[in-house]
Structure 1
Amino acid sequence: MNDKIILNDIVEKIFTKIENNILCFFGLINSTREKIYNYELDIVIFVMRSELFLSNATNNRDEETFEKINKIIFYITKYKYIFEEVNISEELEQEILIRTRNFPYLIENSKINDYELSEYESLKYDNKFFLTKKQIEVFELIDKKNKLVISAPTSFGKSFLIKYSVLKRNWNNCVIILPTNALVSEYCDWFMDNQKKLFSVITNINQDLKKRNLIIMTQEKFWSFFNKEENSGINYDWVIFDEFYSLDLINIRNQILFSILLYLKNFKDIKMTFLSPNSKNLKEGILSFLDGIFFEETFEEYVEQNLVSRDMIYLVNKENVKDKYIATQILNKNDKFSFIDEFPPSLLGKDNLQIMIEIIKKINKAEKNETFLIYPPFTSFTTYCDALLEMSKEIGYEKPEEIKFLIEYLKEYYGDHYSVIKMLERGIAVHFGEIDEFTREIIESQFRKKNIKYLICSPTLMKGVNLNTNYLFITNNRFPDKNIDPKNLVGRIGRYDQSPHGFGFYINSSKETTVKNSIAKKFQENLVIVNKNPKNQTKIDEFIKKINNDKNIKLDKKLISNNNSKSDKTLKSDYFIEGNINKKILFSDTISLEIKQTLQSIFIKENENKLDFLYCKKLLSNLMIIYYFLKEKWKGNTIEKIALIFSWYLKGLTVKNMVLNMAKYYEKFNRETLEERKYRFTGKFITKTNEGDIFSSKNEKHMNILTGETLKIIKSDIEYNLKNSMLHFMDCKFDENEKNDIYDKVEILTNNDLIRWLVKNGFYKNIAITLSKEKFKKIFYKNEIFLNENEIINNFKNYNFEEKDKFIKLNVERVIKRWESVL
């Protein structure tokens, strides 16, 4: 009997006994304590910790096999690239990790009693997932507390806990507000797969509501949703805010969030849960803000415990004080790190990119199926893409069918020359904020399945996407100002419900000795604190030895060439998939009259996509207003900015092809077996299922529904992006006379001078439209004469708003406060 069969048998035996036991303690066993340490590596081996199995061990063979399993678990969760042969199948590896929940606590040189025993709760919705003791505490708090802020490391499992809480708790209308469309898609997919028809998942403002509704949207989309007249009578039972950790009211997104919170204040018994990564200013910021709104104590659960193991390896020049300070800022409490400021000979004299490539090559020699997440400087984005393309020539890559499909899709839209296509041909992809949703979902899905090996990311991935990887490379030391963002990036390695151990490499070979005294002082203080904690002292000796001993490295100079025929800006745009940008528009010196006439003729002709003609005409007119001013204002910068706006219109013009491609995708990749996820129609919406009215592009009803729903989303995107672009351009670049000129043109378009006046004076468009109705007319007019601001303020204060208009009243009060401060 070979080792693999023995292992499978014994693992099944252990699992059976664990599952038949009501409560399983994952603690270290005294009788085997001497055998579960490896003192040479000075690390705790991650053991199976089954008290039940060991107490019933009948012979030496059982214990030997148990030790063998421990050793394998150690290999697959630690230093995998050191050992070139690990005799274990990938399926068995995943089974062990998932079903035993091997989370290393890494408390070195401690006694058995110092370990916190972990319990598990087998959730009725999915028996594969187990909770630690601390997670159970938080899980129960979510259920008990009406106002709860949970602050914990990115790997604690906050989203994991909240998803299962939503399944477990009784409610009629639950809302989850997320910062990005990418997270909306991820949450939606998860609930579609796990909710078992308990409720309807709502992600579009035009969807029909059922008896129980889970509404998953960004704050902008939810703002539009609850302002729809037909939704005014909805009672919200529970609202969840994920990634809620900053409230800068100067930011237009947070102004919307602030308005939502004011609105929700009207629901006395509403349950609200806020999820945030660890933030030093949480108590002074979020909590004081929430207490100010709700006038009651908001319960805070601040968790510092990290349930996963990460090793951050810092390859920095010894004179680089700044990077050593950064190192103490981006780690969570239990993360381990090593400073390597004397570079191995094989890496001396190399730049950051060259060092990264060499490390990746070494990992690839030992591991054939790992993924790499790379965060480079934005200005060097294309250089990194080119380097990975060059390196990948040495490695064979067999494209899965979904990647082949995506390549054909991109060729149809962008042409054969598109740089992203040649990257996908080699298993490389980019992740950028403006990537079109259909492409982004395929890239994220394929990266999770390890069909895409390298993913180069912008700061967008620091928050809003729960992608994980075993290896992270950071060569960009220009982090955003908030300390929390780099921690989120590091949180891509070592994930609670996926891989419990990860490696990160922070590389900066440059000398940066010029640093503010205050930063240098903080670094010294932080380093003292870190050094006092033995958990943060680790040696990556084996890894460094491997690099030191390899003296035969040959690097192709073309790999890191900075000589590009095109400008950096052009290349960066070439690598990003920003909406459906037409490259003719993006890189022309001027937006010619011919292009404008072409766009107008497309809108004016009989429209195959059935877009509302009047709606399109108004939007196009607004666009031409902006262009009229920007042409003279920004000159060289005009083209790129206008192209981004044009792209949203071009999206609307290609709806038919988009829908056809989506239909092909649904059919091609969801009809193989009964176990595969398929698509069916529930009412007017496509959902994932294994049964029901399975989607077919030949079904005219299906195609009409898909086209209609796609159009609704695109129209909403166009309006939102155009409005924000207009406001931004006007506020930053126009003087008062120019702004008034634009408002005059808007008045002509809307044919309503009151709407124009309200928007100009700080009201949101939807509120302005409502206030322009006949029933509010007496606030603004007397004997058909428009009143002055003081008179309007008094009328607002004395106006008796109806119960259904409470939200309008709150917004009026906000604007009046601003008026009065100016007056």
Structure 2
Amino acid sequence: MTWLESIVSRALNDPYLNELTRKLELKYAHIFLYQKDDIALSEKEFDDVLRFADILSRSSEAEGRNKAYKIVSLMFDTYKNNRQYQYYANSILTKLGNFASLNIAVQDSEKVDTLEIALEKEIKKVYQKVPFNDLIFTDPQYKLFEAMKDSNHFSFSGPTSFGKSFIMDAFIQHIITERHGIDNIVILVPTRALINQVTARLKKLITNKNYKVLSHPVVPTIYRNRMLKYIFVFTPERLVAYLGEKGNPVIHYIFIDEAHKIIAEKDSRSPLYYHAILLAERKSIKLYFASPNIPNADVFLQLFEKSADEQMTIRESPVAQNRFYIDYIEQKGRMFTETGEDIEFENLGKHEHGYVSVLLKRLGQNCKNIVYCNTVADTIDFALQFSKKLPERNDDRIDSLIDLIKKYVHKDYFLIDCLKKGVAFHFGRLPQRIRERTEKLFEDKVIDYMFCTSTLLEGVNLPAKNIFIFSNAIGNSKFSDVDFWNLAGRAGRLSKELSGNIICVRMEEKKNRWDNPEKDLEVVRNKKIQNVQPIVIKGQKNFYTNLEHSLKAKDFTRANYSQTEKEIWDHYANIVFTHQASKTDSILMSNFLKRNNDGKKMLEKMEKDNHIPLYIMEQCSNIKIAYQNDIWEQASDQEKAFPEEISTQTCQAVLEKMYGYYNWEEEESKGRNPMVKQKTRLQYFSVLMYSWMKSTPLNMMIINIINYYKKKGEIWNRNEIITFDSQNRHHINLIINNLISDIDNVLRYKIKNYFLNYYLIVSDKLGKEVAGPNWAEYVEYGTMDNVIIELQNIGLPRHLSMLIKDEYSEFLTFEDGNLVDIEAEGLLQSIDCNKYKDELYELKEIFS
């Protein structure tokens, strides 16, 4: 240990520092909770705590550096104009390399520079400059960036506010420049919701004219002819589709964002993530993993059998967080401190009229606030209740979004009521177009309060000053430590403020609403996150036994398994058999054979009886091989896979055929939100699917489904069937939210996968002519029209593709059915800016 580190160690263990830090936290709590700055530091305490922070900032370890930063952030509100504070803050933040925070903490920091600090600033501004812009890496960001430059694969993890996307963007630019633009690159994201956000960001960032940013697994002819390079933004299923097409350009790098999704034990899509990345790894594509808050970042390298040396776990955060708990049942509150001793507030949590609204308004005034509510119903209800107490906002941008919602969705959509008051809600069932506009208003501080579900945990970049957490669960499962800090870590925005506030609120005695405070609050109090143990590596909870049982169609080892567990076991079992067929040597395969004595013999027998080609199994890894083989044997050239004519009747007939072939009665009728709880549900999906494939606009689809329920007379709501009332706004909103969810999660994911599998099997056995049209493509793109499909492939959303095809097709040039040119400038000039104001704005963003 060096002399300096010994001084830092003594400082960290000094009870006097704990005493001073606790006093600063109490002072901050009074300012935040009561708007009273009534706790004063003595002159000696003021001097001493700043000296402590200065010593700690010189540490090489995250603990000391984080504490130094925390002290600066706690003192800012009271002392930001104090010359001595400015002097120390300038020195401390320069030592940390946190220039974004320095610009907030100290105005004109050059005026308080010493020679030592001025020199250090200049050195860091030169060496730690981000390539191709004027920003400066923080110290840990720079260390990570340099390590990645010397690697062939890498895994890193850091706090939510660390700037993972920022690092990946900088590294991508480095690759393009240093390697002279010869590589194709993939960014892998967990959900479709993130595709547009990442695509828009990269289009603004990448200035090399030889690169195009695409999000569909098809390279359009318009680009192929120009010998371009590509950055693809894919979900795992799109990556699988891309890799399955032999004629596609070779991928050289894959950046896996939100990598913890690969090993999520309660996410039924995690096996697909694993499968997609392993397919890429087999093609010698370089893998780079980024994850939030995972202490053992090397675990992703182990999973894909890469050297575990090329990894980094960053524990230093560029933003501080202050943690509070307010309990309206026990009528008290507390602050969780850095020293581990809670500060109790007996007069917090008192019941008063509209107490939750009072809390949000008092603590959230003049800043951005996220309110986490878990369920969609709670999110909407809380947003509506809170917005009723607020005055109306007069803002042209809000009015413009409200007009768009009325036109594009429905005049009775509840988001309109909230937006009028400067409030919004955010969840996966919002139309993508509306969600993006809402996020933009929040980002620009036009909206102050955003009520949300766990979609915020999917990587959507929406930080805020305050995060209120009304529920300590995702769905029915309590927060894991990774989940909590992924959400709570969004409190505080780098370059906007020095710190953020996490406020956990217990409002009522209800399950998953902090109902067991002593146990539930441990995840808040204890900032240490446990090492993750991927089930593929450890095989805990009879994992590999259950894979064998899935392949043998035997009962699982537990009777009370969840639908998600079943889907994960079945999917990994399919992947095991795919690895047998492809002779892939993977950790999954080797562990399966180690844990199951007759596993090898069983797989060899299955392989001998199998008719399904490997490429189909790889494309459709979530569908049981037994069902696929049954279809292969039954497929006859007397019947096309899918009919030429599309009507609600043919849609129903096809869905009923799929229901039987793929045993939906067993596979898709269980769990919290099954696709077909009863077979009669197919009638609803036939209406929805027909409208979707016939290029029907969203607002008309909503009207069609409302008319469907008018005829049916009843609707499913919160675990019961109720009489449908078309004049009831709650019923209308329920239909809209369910419809959007069903388009994204059922039509474009589940049903599309079944259609694709059926089409591929019939095509392979009998030929494409016999198979007929590929309905999987129609369901994916929401159209049967090739022009609209081609336009979506170049990056236009469905609604803009339909507009251009219907009214401005003269600006498109086709050869042999393929789009080869689009006259963007003429198109933009010709669009009626009064009739299509929103569409014109969106097109300008895309073509800019």
TM-score scaled by length of structure 2 = 0.50
Displacement of 1:103 in angstroms is 7.9
Residue equivalent to 2:324: 313
Partner in structure 1 of residue 427 of structure 2:
432
How many Å separate the matches in 2 of 1:645 and 1:183?
28
Query: Per the alignment, do residues 71 and 176 of structure 1 end up closer, same or farther by CA in structure 2, a change over 3 Å counting?
Result: closer
Match of 2:457 in 1: 462
Amino acid at match of 1:344: N
**Are 2:424 and 2:438, in contact at CA under 8 Å, matched by a contact in 1?**
yes
Q: Residues 139 and 125 from structure 1, CA distance in 2 versus in 1: closer, same or farther, beyond 3 angstroms? A: same
| CA deviation after TM superposition for structure 1 residue 281, in Å | 5.9
The sequence identity of aligned pairs, in percent, is 19
Using the alignment, how far apart are the partners of 1:154 and 1:317 within structure 2?
Answer: 29
Which of 655, 670, 679 aligns to 1:623? It is 655
* Aligned residue identity for 1:359: L
Aligned to 2:216: 204
Structural mapping, 1:788-803, within 5 Å: none
Are 1:193 and 2:204 counterparts?
A: yes
1:375 matched to 2:372: yes
Paired residue for 2:245, among 213, 228, 231?
228
Residues 481-492 of structure 1 mapped to structure 2, 5 A cutoff: 481=478, 482-492=480-490
* Contact 1:627/1:642 (8 A) holds in 2: no
Query: CA separation in 1, counterparts of 2:500 and 2:74?
Result: 16
Match of 1:289 among 303, 322, 327: 303
In 2: Cα distance, 1:72 partner to 1:653 partner: 58
Q: Distance in 1 between the 2:512 and 2:404 partners?
A: 49
SS in structure 2 at match of 1:145: coil
Q: Describe the shift of the 1:407–1:242 C-alpha distance in structure 2 as closer, same or farther (beyond 3 A).
A: same
Alignment of 1:643-662 (within 5 A): 647=688, 649-655=690-696
Task: Indicate which of 249, 252, 255 corresponds to 2:271.
Answer: 255
Name the residue aligned to 1:344: 347
Residues 153-196 of structure 1 show CA distances to partners (whole Å, capped at 9, x for unaligned) of 11111111111111122351111101122322222111211211
- What is the identity, as a one-letter code, of the residue corresponding to 2:457? M
Distance 2:437 2:513 in 1: 42
SS at 2:412's partner residue?
coil
Residues 341, 452 of structure 1: CA spacing in aligned structure 2 closer, same or farther, 3 A cutoff? same
Letter of the aligned partner of 1:426 in structure 2?
A: K
How far off is 1:206 after superposition? 2.8
The root-mean-square deviation of aligned C-alpha atoms, in Å, is: 5.4
2:331–2:350: 8 Å Cα contact kept in structure 1?
Answer: no
Q: Give the AA of the match of 1:473.
A: F
* Cα distance in 2 for residues equivalent to 1:640 and 1:42: 69
Aligned to 1:219: 236
The residue matched to 1:416 in structure 2 has which SS? coil
Letter in 2 for 1:400: D
Q: Which residue of 1 aligns with 2:133?
A: 126
Q: What's the counterpart of residue 398 of structure 1? A: 394
Which residue of the partner structure matches residue 439 of structure 2?
Answer: 444
What amino acid is aligned across from residue 655 of structure 2 in structure 1? L
CA distance in 2, matches of 1:426, 1:237: 48
CA displacement, residues 380-437 of structure 1 (integer Å, 9 cap, x when unaligned): 3343123212111xx3411333x33332232234432222222222222211112221
The alpha carbon displacement at 1:41 in A equals 12
1:477 pairs with 2:479: no
Do the aligned partners of residues 75 and 176 (structure 1) sit closer, same or farther apart at CA in structure 2, a change above 3 Å counting?
same
**Do residues 302 (structure 1) and 313 (structure 2) align?**
yes
Q: How far, CA to CA, are the matches of 1:133 and 1:632 in structure 2?
A: 52
State whether residues 408 and 698 of structure 2, in contact with CA within 8 Å, keep that contact through their aligned partners in structure 1.
Answer: no
What are the Cα deviations for residues 800-820 of structure 1, in whole angstroms up to 9, with x where unaligned?
Answer: xxxxxxxxxxxxxxxxxxxxx
The answer on whether the counterparts of 2:424 and 2:450 sit within 8 Å (CA) in structure 1 is yes
Deviation, 1:228, is: 2.4
Q: Is the 8 A contact 2:154 2:310 kept in 1?
A: yes
Is 1:276 aligned with 2:259? no
What is the Cα deviation at residue 467 of structure 1? 0.6
2:161 is paired with a residue whose SS is coil
Structure 1 residues 522, 654: CA separation in 2 closer, same or farther (over 3 Å shift)? Answer: closer
Corresponding residue number in structure 1 for 2:387: 389
- State the alpha-carbon separation in 1 of the partners of residues 760 and 232 from structure 2: 37
1:159 aligns with 2:188: no
Q: Does 1:148 align with 2:154?
A: yes
Question: Alignment partner of 1:486: what SS?
Answer: helix
Assess, with a 3 A threshold, how the Cα gap between structure 1 residues 197 and 640 changes in structure 2: closer, same or farther: farther
Alignment partners' CA distance in 2, 1:179 and 1:717:
17
Q: Which runs of 5+ in 2 are unaligned?
A: 1-40, 55-71, 82-97, 107-114, 529-642, 701-742, 768-775, 778-848
The aligned amino acid for 1:239 is: I
Deviation at 1:723, TM superposition (A): 3.8
Whole-Å separation in 1 of the counterparts to 2:50 and 2:164: 26
1:32-59 deviations in Å (ceiling 9; x for gaps): xxx99995799769999xxxxxxxxxxx
Partner of 1:62: none
SS in 2 for 1:503: strand
In structure 2, the CA distance between the partners of 1:126 and 1:139, relative to structure 1 (3 Å rule), is same
1:617–1:250 CA distance, 2 compared to 1 (3 A): farther
Distance in 2 (CA, whole Å) between partners of 1:526 and 1:657 is 41
Is the partner of 1:376 in helix, strand or coil?
A: strand
Looking at structure 2, the residues matched to 154 and 97 of structure 1 have their Cα atoms a distance apart, in angstroms, of 18
Contact 2:73 2:320 (8 Å CA) reproduced: no
Q: How does 1:481-630 map to 2 (within 5 A)?
A: 481=478, 482-508=480-506, 621-625=653-657
Letter of the structure 1 residue corresponding to residue 154 of structure 2: L
The equivalent of 2:721 in structure 1 is: none
Q: Distance in 1 between matches of 2:272 and 2:468?
A: 35
1:693-735 CA distance string (max 9 Å, x none)? xxxxxxxxxxxxxxxxxxxxx99994434246899xxxxxxxx
1:314 aligned counterpart, secondary structure: strand
SS state of the match for residue 371, structure 2? strand
Secondary structure in 1 matching 2:304: helix
Gaps of 5+ in 1: 1-34, 49-69, 80-95, 105-111, 329-333, 531-610, 660-713, 728-742, 756-764, 767-823
Is 1:309–1:502's contact at 8 Å kept on the other side of the alignment? yes
Q: 2:552 is matched with which residue?
A: none
1:62-81, CA deviations, whole angstroms, 9 ceiling, x for partnerless residues?
xxxxxxxx9999349999xx
**Cα 1:257/1:478, change in 2 over 3 Å:** closer
SS in 2 for 1:506: strand
Work out whether 1:244 is the aligned partner of 2:259.
yes
Q: Which amino acid aligns with 2:240?
A: W
Q: Are positions 1:179 and 2:190 aligned together?
A: yes
Cα distance, 1:528–1:139 mapped onto 2, change above 3 Å: closer
Contact 2:369 2:464 in 1 (8 A): yes
Q: Aligned-pair distance for 1:374? A: 0.7
Q: 1:101 to 1:658 in 2, by over 3 A?
A: farther
Question: CA distance change for structure 1 residues 639 and 427 in 2, over 3 Å: closer, same or farther?
Answer: farther
